Structure 1
Amino acid sequence: MNEFEKQKHFLMDVFKSQAYIPMKKKDLEILLDVPKDKRAEFAMVLDELVGQGQVEITKRGKYQIPENRPKFIKTKDHRSKKPTKAEQASKKQSLNAVAKKANQPKYDNIEPDIIGRFISHKDGFGFIEVEGQEEDYFVGRDNTGFAMQDDIVAAVLTFGAPGKRQEAKVIRIITHGFSDVVGTYEKSENFGFVIADSQKLGRDIFIPAGRDLNAVTGHKVVCHIDDYGDDSHKPEGHITEILGHKNDPGVDILSIIRSFGIETEFPDKVIKQASTVAKPVSEADMAGRNDIRDLCVITIDGEDTKDIDDGVSLVKDGDNYVLGVHIADVTNYVQESSALDVEALKRGTSVYLADRVIPMLPHTLSNGMCSLNEGEDRLALSCIMTFNPKGELVDHEICESVIHSNHRMTYTDVYAMMTGDEDTRAKYSDIAEMIDEMAQLSKILRAKRKKRGAIDFDFPETHILIDENGKVVGLAPYERNDAHKLIEDFMLAANETVAEHFQLMESPFVYRVHGAPDPEKMQTLGRFLGACGYALKGKTDNIHPMEIQKMLESLAGHEDEAVITKMTLRSMQQAKYDTECKGHFGLAAKYYCHFTSPIRRYPDLQIHRIIKDHLRGRMNERKISHYESILPEVAMQTSKLERRAEDCEREVDKLKMVQFMKDFIGEEFNGTISSITGWGMYVELENTVEGLVHVSTLYDDHYEFIEENLTLVGERTGRIFKLGQPVRVILDSVDEQARTIDFILDEFKRF
């Protein structure tokens, strides 16, 4: 059976499902998550089903099994007959029951105005996000139809006053966004409840007797939802996994990990396969590769890094710099469609948390045979680039190679060498001259990138220090020095070179793209800057990154620098993966991809396969067709998984900061207003912890939120709170469940 026939059979199963509600093609595409580049093919499948008479289109353009098609039921004498009107009514009643069980209002053929993803708020209301639309739709508490986070819903519009956010009412839930919930179990005599960690669920989940895996009160559990409930009863489910007691070390972070659907363990089949393929480099492995083991290659990473993807080398050719960026050849061990590959794509990326790393590949590979460990022969893909003294690329070669890492360097040691530390330079005397030349080239490449307009958002990062019991013992700044920038400059150069090479070849590929900012967001930023006494030159509907770069540089050392830099970053689009080379706005780069981290990012692994197919002469029409069919889904899925990993990392950081701050309740701190909303102002402390001063605690006046310049203005006193303003606050409370911190201004402590 070919792919086309498989799709027909799959769609017929959907149409025949008792829970299926007739819907239009666009709604089906959303329900079944059909990629944009597959929608023409999807339409052809639908057309053939209609042409064959298996499916019909109603007057309203909805697809369904033909109503006049004989529907047979078995009788005792095995004869068949057409259902009576009563039986048809019973069938419709069954559909209504299915709809009710799925939290849907009664099926009454109401035509929806919009279909989109529901985003719930802990206070009961929500929003509907519609694909391709910038503005979402507000849904009041009484109009949610019991929709939950990430449900795909159909809704009708209920309000549309000029200048106000459009409101909507959910009329049915097409499909639920999740089926598993992480929470805390509370046991009663004959049943129990799971109190979900997520504030967005809103309701406890009933666990019948015998379906609790013998969990006890206080256990953190994973619960599968069997019935989503309605206005007369709670959701109902059963426990599938016990993570441990809520007070056990590490269970708090594990609960967050599992709430995002991230698996911490690999399937046995994947572990076994990793052990099987992780063999030492042999002569057979080296066949057909460039043997450059005599080249001095070093790796530069953090002290704790164990998955080392990249090594670098540098030699001078007259005045030119010959830079080698050597990347672990992970594809030699992870074959396409293997168990390892399927699992890697399922994960998309490694996840780096405060107390652990959840790798994309098993440690046997990520920390072992794929890691460019010191003193070991390793298979690699090398991008060897020749730059002239102006930083212009004059030649390059991309090849399969065998390398041998001479030194496992840290950023600390390299920076010490760059700044003249004699002891460190003596310790690594064999590479001291190479480090000096690398520092020269790094500065040249950075200056060239800056000249074309690349933006450098250099935010101070915080390193959360955790002991063996999971307790936060401190927050330390994580500084980015010139050694970090050196590696960044070299990796960027390789990523751009590889992207340009394969774009000019017109090969199927996966690019890293970053679109220009939305003009409306730029207009908002421009108004805010104007209110602060600054200006953003250029047209907001077609701004060049250089104008943003110049504006940020003009703020260097100014008290508003951090706030405006954050505001600017929030105005940017998110970078993502794409099969089209659309450029990278933030880097002011025409060509860009992710080539340098195949141990921890799937897109890098994917393009390594493409590169090797070209190098080995295997990129024929069949291969091209294959890549063109799979890459759009790879790009879309890995972009989503990247967001998931970032969200998980952010939630863990928030939790650990809340836990750290709970020992300081009642103490005073200096802070800066980092964000202002209608419900209050967020204040960031010097240790980067952020908390809310709720508008209700500003006792001296009633404050109005002025959205245009992001200020809170007192109606009677005219007092103004603005971004970047220093304030003195008292830590009032923390909430580990919600992962929030609340401050009050110290001047109101007497209230």
Structure 2
Amino acid sequence: MHVVKQDILLLLREESEPLHFAGLLRAFGGRQVKNELKRLVEAMVRDGELVRLRGNRYTLPGAENVGTVRGTISVHRDGYGFVAPEEGGEDIFIPAKGLGGAMHGDTVSVRGEPSRGRQGKRDGRVVAVLQRANSRVVGRFQQTGRGALFIPEELRLGGPFSIPPRATNGAVDGQQVVIEVTAWPVGGRPAEGKVIEILGWPDNPDVEVQTVIRRFDLPHTFDAATLAEAEAVPAQIGKGDLEGRVDLRKLPTVTIDGETAKDFDDAVSLRREGEAFRLWVSIADVSQYVTPGSSLDRDAYLRGTSVYFPDRCLPMLPERLSNGICSLNPHQDRLTMTAELLIDAGGSLRESRFYTSVIRSDARLTYTQVKGVIEDNDPSALGEYRELAPMLLEMKQLALALMAMRRRRGSIDFDLPEPEIVLGLTGQTEAIIKSERNLAHRLIEEFMLAANEAVARFVTSRQVPFIYRIHEPPAPEKLAAFREFLVPFGFTLEMKGDTVEPAALQALVASAEGKPEERMVNYGLLRCMKQARYSGINLKHFGLASDCYTHFTSPIRRYPDLMVHRFLKLVLTAAERPLTRQEERRQAEMAASLAEAAEHTSSRERVAMEAERDIVELKKLQFMQGKVGEEFGGFIAGVAGFGCFVELTELFVEGLVHSSTLTDDLYSFEEREHALKGRQSGRTLRIGDPVTVRVVAVNPQARRIEFALVSHAAAQRPEKQENLEYSGERYPRIPVRGKRPKLNASPAAAPAPKRGGKGKGGGKRRR
């Protein structure tokens, strides 16, 4: 008798209890199939199709009689993990010995275990790996005397992996490679793999980028059909393209972007009308060229967003479109979607119109040039742009009015410094500087925010399906912990029960401005926030204090914006005439796929942000390798029992001062004060304190920088407010002895801080 897995699965579905292997053996013919059945069952367990219980019993994953939970596991570098249940609820802690061969990112089945001293918390162990997340892995090839090993770039994948002699593919010790996993870890045996691609030497800047691309599985090439469709798009617009469009070519119009920007997807124009302002925000009409179901559309959806690295961009659309016919290049006729807004002197929207249009940009301005006109009163800038200067100065007035309106409304603005990586001709990092964000940046941000909000309200008023940009309120437990964390530093956070108004958070940010703890408060608040995301349901935008918001202004580099353009066009068409059957079908198809599209594009955005952050951190670490022995000023950004984290003031680099290097005294961790305190001297190291440190070691592969404390000056702090109770709950970022670290201790928030480049609200600032 030959045993097939379908028969085993059918048998276990019919059984009310898990079956012992002996029961399976009896069901399928006894001893004559024992070896075959054993091999098949073990393979099904490895593949996650069966769950093996104690006593050599077997059942199906997630079966009610097993009490298992299905979810995705996140493994910490130290070996333990957390599983986020698919049905929701609190994460389940998995000790290192309970991983059961699971690796970071895998979908697993977890069985609950008795909690060990954590009242109300959930512990568990992995009983089956249901789906592997990493069949291909990028990392370092290492040749040893006993054979070849592979060290994954993602440290949470564990390792090392074993590479058999016939699977090296000619890789040389120290090279970056991609492997295909051929055997997963089981019973203490390491995972195995074979080298399928050799990227090159890790100090090559191009290899660094290729490593990140493969680590995060970023699409980086377009297929032939997509490129062919792009080539077929005319390089110039024709007369037939202008039919039905409002002609704005005689309206003074400009684009304002960073010096290195090449894709200009928004242009603005302004006219003063008494005490009010008429603002035109014209956005590249990408939907004219990227039609639903086309290869261009499929590739754009797959990417979800453009990805920006210090030396290059992985565009959502081929450059023929993104830098060509879709880009609002100066002195070129371009097809656009326009939001025409009438805004009063108080920053409130009075009227709005939306229509297809054609524009001709009069100038490609940079933030620096506009700053020279509206902030610096630079004679050379005023002279060079004398025809546009009056409009730019009126734009400044409107931007200030919009900013004031948003502050009154409670919009939260984390104006945090961002690093800018300066690369040399060879691609190596030459400097890390503070990325400038001036009033010119804010001007464009405010105009984009106004357009995004106006479009969202207009389409929503038509009661049709739509994709929103939402930002949910922070979790009450995080807010409560953060509020108590603030007490020793003299700050207060007004809460109504377990909720908070955006205006209260904005007030907190304002109260910390200019103080030693300013960045600590801002970063801490960011960690309390949830990430903004896309949704087919309007759950409002907490960070912007907006009841209705979307992304409309960047369709060249964000797929949801392209979707919004398509919805908006259908709404405008329906207002003029009945929709055709084809248009109705398209609207129904978009509505049916809204939930899936929102989840997919939100996921792609998160991956892009992680990849961008990863390569910036790598560039920082490489830069700091050349700074070993040098001293820098900084401030204490976090405290733990093993030391304190110091962030350098100008370089935006963080490192650890380990307690073992504090040789002047024996320091203990004072949880209630968020400080390290010397037992003999009473010297205290607290969050926010200015310090001087020396760089003693840098390990780019481990993503670790070690500092030694040179000098310390305690920050001036207000007295602790005695009328506020302080329960000693920890700040989420700081591990506390006796408590397991939390998975969500890393920054994740929206509105997120600016990431350089265009820096536009609704643009690269991912609001």
Q: TM-score, normalised by structure 2?
A: 0.84
After TM superposition, list the pairs within 5 Å mapping 1:539-578 onto structure 2. Answer: 539=496, 541-578=498-535
- Indicate the residue corresponding to 2:41 in structure 1: 96
Gaps of 5+ in 1: 1-15, 23-53, 69-81
| In 2, Cα distance between equivalents of 1:674 and 1:369 | 46
| In 1, Cα distance between equivalents of 2:360 and 2:346 | 30
**Change in 2 beyond 3 A, CA 1:463/1:593:** same
| In 1, Cα distance between equivalents of 2:678 and 2:146 | 55
Q: 2:418 aligns with which of 424, 436, 461?
A: 461
Q: Cα distance, 1:93 vs. partner?
A: 2.3
**Change in 2 beyond 3 A, CA 1:338/1:211:** farther
After TM superposition, list the pairs within 5 Å mapping 1:301-340 onto structure 2. Answer: 301-340=257-296
Q: Percent identity?
A: 37
**Change in 2 beyond 3 A, CA 1:322/1:91:** farther
- Indicate the residue corresponding to 2:572 in structure 1: 615
| In 2, Cα distance between equivalents of 1:20 and 1:342 | 39
After TM superposition, list the pairs within 5 Å mapping 1:388-467 onto structure 2. Answer: 388-419=344-375, 420-467=377-424
- Indicate the residue corresponding to 1:4 in structure 2: none
Q: Cα distance, 1:487 vs. partner?
A: 0.2
- Indicate the residue corresponding to 1:29 in structure 2: none
Task: Indicate if the aligned counterparts of 1:155 and 1:168 stay in contact, CA closer than 8 A.
Answer: yes
What are the superposed Cα offsets for residues 645-692 of structure 1, whole Å, 9 maximum, x if unpaired?
111111111111111111121222221011223443210112211111
Local SS of the residue matching 1:308: coil
Matched residue type, 2:506: Q
- Indicate the residue corresponding to 2:722 in structure 1: none
After TM superposition, list the pairs within 5 Å mapping 1:50-65 onto structure 2. Answer: 58=14
Matched residue type, 1:580: I
Matched residue type, 1:746: V
What are the superposed Cα offsets for residues 111-164 of structure 1, whole Å, 9 maximum, x if unpaired?
144222111122222222224656423222221112111011112222323447
- Indicate the residue corresponding to 1:735 in structure 2: 699
Task: Indicate if the aligned counterparts of 1:101 and 1:227 stay in contact, CA closer than 8 A.
Answer: no
Q: Are residues 1:654 and 2:617 paired? A: yes
Matched residue type, 2:600: Q
Q: 2:170 aligns with which of 204, 214, 217?
A: 214
Task: Indicate if the aligned counterparts of 1:112 and 1:171 stay in contact, CA closer than 8 A.
Answer: no
- Indicate the residue corresponding to 1:148 in structure 2: 103
Q: Cα distance, 1:90 vs. partner?
A: 6.0
Q: Cα distance, 1:706 vs. partner?
A: 4.8
- Indicate the residue corresponding to 2:632 in structure 1: 669
Matched residue type, 2:470: V
Task: Indicate if the aligned counterparts of 1:693 and 1:743 stay in contact, CA closer than 8 A.
Answer: yes
Task: Indicate if the aligned counterparts of 1:101 and 1:229 stay in contact, CA closer than 8 A.
Answer: no
- Indicate the residue corresponding to 1:486 in structure 2: 443
- Of stretches 95-104 and 722-731 in structure 1, the one that deviates more from structure 2 is 95-104
| In 2, Cα distance between equivalents of 1:675 and 1:553 | 22
Task: Indicate if the aligned counterparts of 2:267 and 2:281 stay in contact, CA closer than 8 A.
Answer: yes
Local SS of the residue matching 2:336: strand
- Indicate the residue corresponding to 1:521 in structure 2: 478
Q: Cα distance, 1:389 vs. partner?
A: 2.1
Local SS of the residue matching 2:460: helix
Matched residue type, 1:542: T
| In 2, Cα distance between equivalents of 1:96 and 1:704 | 53
Q: 1:289 aligns with which of 245, 252, 255?
A: 245
- Indicate the residue corresponding to 2:150 in structure 1: 194
Q: Cα distance, 1:397 vs. partner?
A: 0.8
| In 2, Cα distance between equivalents of 1:207 and 1:478 | 43
| In 2, Cα distance between equivalents of 1:347 and 1:17 | 39
**Change in 2 beyond 3 A, CA 1:498/1:86:** farther
After TM superposition, list the pairs within 5 Å mapping 1:52-91 onto structure 2. Answer: 58=14, 84-85=29-30
Matched residue type, 1:172: A
Matched residue type, 1:200: R
After TM superposition, list the pairs within 5 Å mapping 1:129-208 onto structure 2. Answer: 129-131=84-86, 133=88, 135-160=90-115, 161-163=117-119, 165-187=121-143, 192-208=148-164
Local SS of the residue matching 2:635: strand
**Change in 2 beyond 3 A, CA 1:396/1:121:** same
Q: Cα distance, 1:281 vs. partner?
A: 0.5
Matched residue type, 2:653: V
**Change in 2 beyond 3 A, CA 1:154/1:679:** farther
After TM superposition, list the pairs within 5 Å mapping 1:24-39 onto structure 2. Answer: none
**Change in 2 beyond 3 A, CA 1:339/1:624:** closer
What are the superposed Cα offsets for residues 181-236 of structure 1, whole Å, 9 maximum, x if unpaired?
00122357997432211211222333344544433333311111122132354322
- Indicate the residue corresponding to 1:47 in structure 2: none
Q: Cα distance, 1:464 vs. partner?
A: 0.9
Task: Indicate if the aligned counterparts of 2:570 and 2:587 stay in contact, CA closer than 8 A.
Answer: no
Local SS of the residue matching 2:548: coil
* Count of residues in Structure 1 that have an aligned counterpart in Structure 2: 685
Local SS of the residue matching 2:205: coil
| In 2, Cα distance between equivalents of 1:61 and 1:404 | 73
| In 2, Cα distance between equivalents of 1:268 and 1:61 | 53
Q: Are residues 1:627 and 2:576 paired? A: no
| In 1, Cα distance between equivalents of 2:709 and 2:155 | 27
**Change in 2 beyond 3 A, CA 1:366/1:60:** farther
Task: Indicate if the aligned counterparts of 1:102 and 1:229 stay in contact, CA closer than 8 A.
Answer: no
| In 2, Cα distance between equivalents of 1:507 and 1:740 | 50
Local SS of the residue matching 1:178: coil
Gaps of 5+ in 2: 60-65, 713-767
Q: Cα distance, 1:172 vs. partner?
A: 1.3
| In 2, Cα distance between equivalents of 1:20 and 1:361 | 48
Q: TM-score, normalised by structure 1?
A: 0.86
| In 2, Cα distance between equivalents of 1:148 and 1:569 | 29
| In 2, Cα distance between equivalents of 1:720 and 1:159 | 39
Q: Are residues 1:642 and 2:599 paired? A: no
| In 1, Cα distance between equivalents of 2:624 and 2:34 | 61
Task: Indicate if the aligned counterparts of 1:278 and 1:364 stay in contact, CA closer than 8 A.
Answer: no
Matched residue type, 1:154: S
| In 1, Cα distance between equivalents of 2:199 and 2:12 | 48
Local SS of the residue matching 2:263: coil
Matched residue type, 1:109: Y
**Change in 2 beyond 3 A, CA 1:245/1:534:** closer
**Change in 2 beyond 3 A, CA 1:325/1:56:** farther
| In 2, Cα distance between equivalents of 1:329 and 1:191 | 57
Aligned residues: CA RMSD: 2.8
| In 1, Cα distance between equivalents of 2:363 and 2:32 | 78
**Change in 2 beyond 3 A, CA 1:527/1:20:** farther
Local SS of the residue matching 1:325: strand
**Change in 2 beyond 3 A, CA 1:621/1:284:** closer
Q: Cα distance, 1:708 vs. partner?
A: 5.1
| In 2, Cα distance between equivalents of 1:190 and 1:145 | 26
Q: Cα distance, 1:642 vs. partner?
A: 0.8
| In 2, Cα distance between equivalents of 1:233 and 1:105 | 19
Local SS of the residue matching 1:724: coil
- Of stretches 449-458 and 118-127 in structure 1, the one that deviates more from structure 2 is 118-127
What are the superposed Cα offsets for residues 295-319 of structure 1, whole Å, 9 maximum, x if unpaired?
1110000010001110001112333
| In 2, Cα distance between equivalents of 1:568 and 1:196 | 33
Q: Are residues 1:681 and 2:644 paired? A: yes
Q: Cα distance, 1:339 vs. partner?
A: 1.2
- Indicate the residue corresponding to 2:719 in structure 1: none
What are the superposed Cα offsets for residues 419-438 of structure 1, whole Å, 9 maximum, x if unpaired?
32121111112211111111
Q: 2:331 aligns with which of 375, 389, 394?
A: 375
- Indicate the residue corresponding to 1:504 in structure 2: 461
**Change in 2 beyond 3 A, CA 1:21/1:297:** farther
Q: Cα distance, 1:540 vs. partner?
A: 5.3
Q: Are residues 1:746 and 2:710 paired? A: yes
| In 1, Cα distance between equivalents of 2:612 and 2:159 | 25
**Change in 2 beyond 3 A, CA 1:704/1:578:** farther
| In 2, Cα distance between equivalents of 1:697 and 1:19 | 61
- Indicate the residue corresponding to 1:109 in structure 2: 58
Matched residue type, 1:136: D
Q: Cα distance, 1:378 vs. partner?
A: 0.7
**Change in 2 beyond 3 A, CA 1:190/1:20:** farther
Matched residue type, 1:566: Y
Task: Indicate if the aligned counterparts of 1:105 and 1:145 stay in contact, CA closer than 8 A.
Answer: no
**Change in 2 beyond 3 A, CA 1:300/1:743:** same
| In 1, Cα distance between equivalents of 2:624 and 2:7 | 50
Matched residue type, 2:435: Y
